[in-house]
Structure 1
Amino acid sequence: MLSVIKSSWPLLLGMLLLMLGNGLQGSLLGVRGSTLGFSAFQMSIVMSAYFAGFLFASRVTPAMIRRVGHVRVFAALGSLVSAALLLFPTIQDPIVWVLGRMIIGFCFCGVYVTAESWLNNSSTNENRGQALSAYMMVQMTGIIIAQGLLVVPDPSGYLLFVIPSVLVSISFAPILLSISPTPAFESTKPMSLRELFTVSPLGFVGMFMMGSVFAAQFGMAAVYATEAGLSITQVPFFTAAFYVGALLFQYPIGWISDRTDRRVLIALSAAIAGAGSIGGMLFGGNFYVLLASAFLIGGLSNPLYSLLIAYTNDFLEYEDMASASAGLLFVNGVGAITGPLLIGYAIQVVGPPGFFLFLAFILLMMAGYAVYRMTQRPSPSVEDTSAYQSMMPTVSPVTVEIASEWAIETAEAEAEAEAQAAEEADQSEQRSYGT
């Protein structure tokens, strides 16, 4: 891990600054929109727009990179993010905010695609898994730290929008001054939705639900917090609790997933997160209960993203893993677009508890569907399952494909080692007979 950080620290530092800006702007809009009198449903449309832009960019960014190159795409999209952030306090209109969030979602996806391509190019087969882990830690750490910036005094109404704009702008420096151009990024054609559902109904349905759950955390947590009457000092603790849980639970859930039936782990994780949602809904008046609920929901739901990809790969040949992962990413993106809209409607109808009501419904539905799928076909043996690679729903298609390649390489290396061990055992046995 230290060698990865040493060789890739400029890229990781730049991504940390980018995630500080991205993590702050989402929560900031949730708080500021409420103070401006925007309804919860209006804010849900604003938050959903980010994921619509992100999903669209995941399809068109590779063509942009092939046409003008990594450096120009990165610089152009990053500059556009920096400029768009300054428009929110200038034009305080929900329609303008929707367009701004869509632009930011599009640009951030393009920036992630470019940066992750550089990360892949600078990694080797031996350290690619460590590079991905370092990248995930940087992403989550950036989002967590960003929540603390919400408490910065902002008497003019502009400072908190200037901060993420500046962070995004200066993030270019360590990346662009240290990275060499990389080969053009070639995207993998997604598997058709019909084929994907046939291969793994649980992976397909679960990823759609996971998109909704993550979008609720990333886009609507701050909206809920302001609607529920949390103070400006309490909001960042609440929103950060989701990501602290996600960061801490990734490794233990990944370790368990490689040693047990993944459907059991999916069902248990979703069920416990759903129970945490019910606790937040029933006892939302207690701030410490809210923190515990957010920690449980984030910690047990976010690893489901990697878990569902790994589970789907268990039923695929190596050559189909990348296209299936690209299809799952698309399904997750569609779920992320719909999630904020449904939560905004729930809050509008039943009040702030609608946030947790929606999460509980989706998570318990996922747990129930996982249990149902356990009755439909046997689980592959633990020895035949693919390797789990930690990923967060914030990543672009590049990281998903890198993780698929890493899983393939790991499986092939293990198979080769087993074959070599068996051959050596046969040779040893033959020598013993000869004596």
Structure 2
Amino acid sequence: MHRIWKSFRALYFASLLMLIGSGLLSTYLGLRLAADKTDSIWVGALMAANYFGLVLGGKLGHRLIARVGHIRAYVTCAGVVTAAVLGHGLIDWLPAWIVLRAIVGLGMMCQYMVIESWLNEQADASQRGLVFSGYMIASYLGLVLGQLVLVLHPALGLELLMLVALCFALCLVPVAVTRKIHPAPMHPAPLEPRFFIKRVPQSLTTTLVSGLVIGAFYGLAPLYASRLGLSTQQVGLFMGCCILAGLVVQWPLGWLSDRHDRARLIRGCAFLLVLAALPLALMPSVPLELLFPMGFVVSLLQFSLYPLAVAFSNDHVEGEHRVSLTAILLVTFGIGACLGPLVAGLLMRQLGAHMLFAFVSSCAFILVWRIRPDAVTKLYQVEDAPLHHVAMPDNMTSSPLVAALDPRVDEQIVHDQMQNQPEPSKAPVESSAEPVDEALR
């Protein structure tokens, strides 16, 4: 593992800085609007715009990378994101903030695509699992550190926006100064929605609900905590605690997922999430000593849904479709993440802040109702399923290219799929023959 960290430290550090900035920006905007007594629907709209930009970036990022190359695309997007972040401090008009938030999401998705395609090309096939784990740890750690910045600097002034911009400006340095030749561009993976709706409907349902819940959480949890009377430092600690739960749950979740029926695990997690979120939904005011442990438990469960949906769907989709599967799962997640903050924000405006967790509990109940383990026919189950569970990011901190880092995806299958796309002028991604020690520095 030490060799992996040493070889890919530049990309991991760039990811860390990106996520520190992204995590801090989301919470800062929520708290800033809460301090200004802004309607919760605007807070939800800002987060919805961010996810809309991420989904849009998944389509446009390929074109930009193909036109100017990975390094120039990354530097360009980092510059645009930095400018958009600073724009929040220059313009005090909420519709403009929504546009800027979408630009931030779009630019970040392109940055994810550059980093993940680079990791894919430089990682040896036998090390993909470890490389991906390092990437996931750097991403989660960045999100947590972004929240802890509020503990050290609770004032909601422009200094925090400047710090976010600083993170996005510095994250381009490790990529811009590399001496390595950038990897070959990948073609967009076809979405094939009809194929996957027929093949893995329950996984898509779980992914959509997960998007609803996670989008609402990232967008409105800071507002919820603020309306409970928590200080800025306490909101930062609360958000950091909840996001940390998303990292902590991944490895025990993988152990359970490899040993038990995944459809039953999804339904079981959803049922427990209904029960865990219900007290917070029924209590307009929650003591601090209860809020943190209850929020941690809710986060453990809500951050389990997307990884389980990914693992469950991979059991029923052949290897040549798995890059496309990741793309459709992320688009489905993004649709849910756009709608979740808007619906939850409307409920919070009408009925109070605690409606955030009423929304979470209701979404989880939909999964308890819709997920039917007995309805899984196993007609399309791949050989030797269930496949080994791979801990996946459970928010939009990745692109469709992350599927190439999944060790369950055979490199030659991915190569053949990319080669058969209708744009022969773009070279497909091929696994690098260089050893891991010669990776990007």
Distance 1:341 1:29 in 2: 15
Q: When the two structures are aligned, how many residues end up with a matched partner?
A: 410
Distance 2:401 2:287 in 1: 38
Shift of residue 349, structure 1, vs aligned partner = 1.3
Distance 1:130 1:268 in 2: 29
Q: Give the corresponding residue for 1:430.
A: none
- Contact preservation (8 Å) 2:62, 2:188: no
Cα 1:316–1:156 change in 2 (3 A) is closer
- Contact preservation (8 Å) 1:190, 1:325: no
Q: Give the corresponding residue for 1:116.
A: 116
Q: Give the corresponding residue for 1:349.
A: 350
Q: Give the corresponding residue for 1:50.
A: 50
Distance 1:378 1:154 in 2: 52
Distance 1:77 1:2 in 2: 30
Distance 1:220 1:340 in 2: 7
Shift of residue 399, structure 1, vs aligned partner = 4.4
- Contact preservation (8 Å) 2:257, 2:265: yes
Cα 1:395–1:181 change in 2 (3 A) is farther
User: For 1:192-207, what aligned pairs fall within 5 Å after superposition?
Assistant: 192-207=192-207
> Which has the higher relative contact order, 1 or 2, with Cα contacts under 8 A spaced 6 or more apart?
2
Deviation readout 1:24-47 (Å, 9 max, x if unpaired) = 000000000112232101111111
Shift of residue 156, structure 1, vs aligned partner = 8.1
Q: Give the corresponding residue for 2:215.
A: 215
- Contact preservation (8 Å) 2:334, 2:396: no
Distance 1:156 1:216 in 2: 22
- Contact preservation (8 Å) 2:319, 2:410: no
Q: For residue 46 of structure 2, what is the amino acid of its counterpart? A: V
Identity of aligned residues (%): 26
Q: Give the corresponding residue for 2:402.
A: 400
- Contact preservation (8 Å) 1:143, 1:243: yes
Structure 1 stretches lacking a partner, 5+ long: 413-435
Mapped pair 1:75 → 2:75: yes
Report the TM-score when normalising by structure 2: 0.88
- Greater mean alpha carbon deviation, residues 142-151 or residues 21-30: 142-151
* Bigger radius of gyration: 1
Shift of residue 155, structure 1, vs aligned partner = 5.8
Structure 2 stretches lacking a partner, 5+ long: 414-441
Cα 1:387–1:409 change in 2 (3 A) is farther
Shift of residue 288, structure 1, vs aligned partner = 2.6
User: For 1:225-236, what aligned pairs fall within 5 Å after superposition?
Assistant: 225-236=225-236
- SS at the partner of 1:316? coil
Shift of residue 301, structure 1, vs aligned partner = 2.0
Cα 1:181–1:220 change in 2 (3 A) is farther
- SS at the partner of 1:86? helix
- Contact preservation (8 Å) 1:38, 1:94: no
Distance 1:402 1:351 in 2: 43
Shift of residue 312, structure 1, vs aligned partner = 1.0
Q: Give the corresponding residue for 2:7.
A: 7
- SS at the partner of 2:178? coil
Q: Give the corresponding residue for 2:387.
A: 386
- Contact preservation (8 Å) 1:217, 1:242: no
User: For 1:35-46, what aligned pairs fall within 5 Å after superposition?
Assistant: 35-46=35-46
Deviation readout 1:110-145 (Å, 9 max, x if unpaired) = 111111111112211011110000100110011111
- Contact preservation (8 Å) 2:54, 2:396: no
User: For 1:316-355, what aligned pairs fall within 5 Å after superposition?
Assistant: 316-355=317-356
Distance 1:300 1:347 in 2: 22
Distance 2:155 2:292 in 1: 28
Cα 1:68–1:43 change in 2 (3 A) is same
Q: For residue 322 of structure 1, what is the amino acid of its counterpart? A: V
Cα 1:10–1:377 change in 2 (3 A) is same
- Contact preservation (8 Å) 2:209, 2:363: yes
- Contact preservation (8 Å) 2:48, 2:337: yes
Distance 2:216 2:156 in 1: 29
More helix by share: 1
Q: CA RMSD in A?
A: 2.1
Shift of residue 175, structure 1, vs aligned partner = 2.7
Q: Give the corresponding residue for 1:310.
A: 311
Q: For residue 157 of structure 1, what is the amino acid of its counterpart? A: G
Distance 2:248 2:152 in 1: 27
- Contact preservation (8 Å) 1:45, 1:340: yes
Shift of residue 14, structure 1, vs aligned partner = 1.6
Cα 1:389–1:363 change in 2 (3 A) is same
Q: Give the corresponding residue for 2:274.
A: 274
- Contact preservation (8 Å) 2:211, 2:336: yes
- Runs of at least 4 residues off by over 6 Å: none
